[in-house]
Amino acid sequence: MTDTIKSLSALLAEGKVSSVELCQDSLERIQRLNPALNAFITVDADKTLRDAAAADARRAAGQAGPLTGVPIAHKDIFCAEGWLTTCGSKMLSNFVSPYDAHVIEQFKAAGMPCLGKTNMDEFAMGSSNETSFYGPVRNPWDTDRVPGGSSGGSAAAVAARLCPAATGTDTGGSIRQPAALTGITGLKPTYGVVSRYGMIAFASSLDQAGPMATTAEDCALLLNVMAGFDPRDSTSLEREKEDYARELTQPRNQPLAGLKIGLPREFFGAGLSGDTARAVEEAINQLKKLGAQTVAVGLPNSKLSVAAYYVLAPAEASSNLSRFDGVRYGYRTPEYRDLADMYEKTRAEGFGSEVKRRIMIGAYVLSHGYYDAYYLQAQKLRRLIAQDFVEAFQQCDVILGPTAPTTAFKLGEKTADPVEMYLSDIYTIAVNLAGLPGMSLPCGFDAQGLPIGLQLIGNYFAEARMLNAAHQYQLATDWHTRAPTL
């Protein structure tokens, strides 16, 4: 398969390939490779090929948009009408959605056929994609290693070229961290730019949907489809539509002249692996060759972001997941004495251990006597973390650093130590707490041949500028073109 959605769009427009042919190619590859990767939970070839035939008919009628006919996979956190929508949990293992999430509606309107629903950490809670009820996703670069989480299924599917693009969600790094660990490009937009309607909630003030693809240019084209005001989501921002690809320019001498890149000293200290540090340093040098300048910035409160996040996110999760009780939809325990017994058994049997852990933490920090000591203090820290970014962006246009402290770790390596697992997101969480846009793109490989991710962070609504910096870097390098041998 041709890798980029831009090139596939061009082939479709020229009549050199049909959407049905593209989807058949992807479906064949999914059937062959997914048993080893476990990237997809649900595939329905008949549905996909019907969508593809409809896209071909639209194109024949002259009614095609830029991405009509290009196939895409969706993280199984998005409700999709007629599709099993599980959120990677036993609790929703029998739930077929009766409606579409806003993101799904947008891609349907664009004429992009759905290839299936991708595996994920249960209710998006995890950094390794090992908490899924459907089993762990495996990294296509080394199937003994994790792909990152919670959007690990989407990341592995794009990295293995099972699909040209996929959707993900990012609550504390869940698009960027798996993108880094699998060698693809992933973007988390500014909070509120993409509607959360129909996206099963984990932590409502942090969750944000975004695109995952091989290039920054593809992510810009996908964000053009996803973004937009939705009155059904009270946190959706009422802004004019914009073209996120508008600043992408072709190669020229010093295309990033005038761009100031902030380097936070807090992102380059203890805990960062030597291979990752070297790859990021080389990426900085490449960006300088393209005309960018670097400035030192400080994010002094970022060291507190993991602690603040693991108070705030579980608090919101404990509230959001209270709706899963066996009464209206989803799993219900087969044997129970009364209503209270049904609630207890359903939730005990339907949720996995990580979800239970976070619900318990959330209930604790919101309880009487502890709300002020934990939840309120974490909200104050969140404000300080956001203020650090405000001050940093007075000195620079984008902030750069590693996406993750290490490359992909072995399956099972960190499952016994939740705190060590949580630290996998140490460079990404602050971006969610502040509501900023951020992205990860490949910038090299470690000594074991595993991908390394470079993180760019933009100011509020500065996705186009951030995407152009990534695009120019990718025009000058080839890390994003490399795919695992499968």
Give dist(CA 84, CA 94) in Å, integer: 7
The residue annotated as part of the active site, out of 6, 75, 117, 414, is 75
Residue 149 exposure: Cα atoms within 13 Å on the Cβ side: 32
Q: Which helix (H) or strand (E) holds 115?
A: strand 114-118
Q: How far apart are CA 66 and CA 457, in angstroms?
A: 27
Q: Which entry of 19, 150, 154, 195 is annotated as an active-site residue?
A: 150
Residue 294 β-bridge partners: 261
* Distance from C-alpha of 423 to C-alpha of 421, rounded to nearest angstrom: 5
- Residue of 174, 236, 302, 424 marked active site: 174
Task: Specify the residue for token string 């799904």.
Answer: 104
Taking the mean position of all CA atoms in its chain, how far away is CA 139? 15
Q: Residue 234 contacts by C-beta under 8 Å, 6 or more apart in sequence?
A: none
* Spatial separation of the C-alpha atoms in residues 142 and 122, rounded to whole Å: 22
**Cα distance between residue 202 and residue 194, in whole Å:** 16
Identify whether 151 is a catalytic site residue.
no
440 among known catalytic residues = no
Q: For residues 473 and 19, what is the distance between their CA atoms, to the nearest angstrom? A: 30
Q: How many CB atoms are located within 10 Å of the residue 379 CB?
A: 15
Give the separation between CA 1 and CA 96, rounded to whole angstroms. 30
367 is catalytic: no
Cβ-based neighbour number of residue 58 at 10 Å: 16
Q: What residues are labeled active site?
A: 75, 150, 174
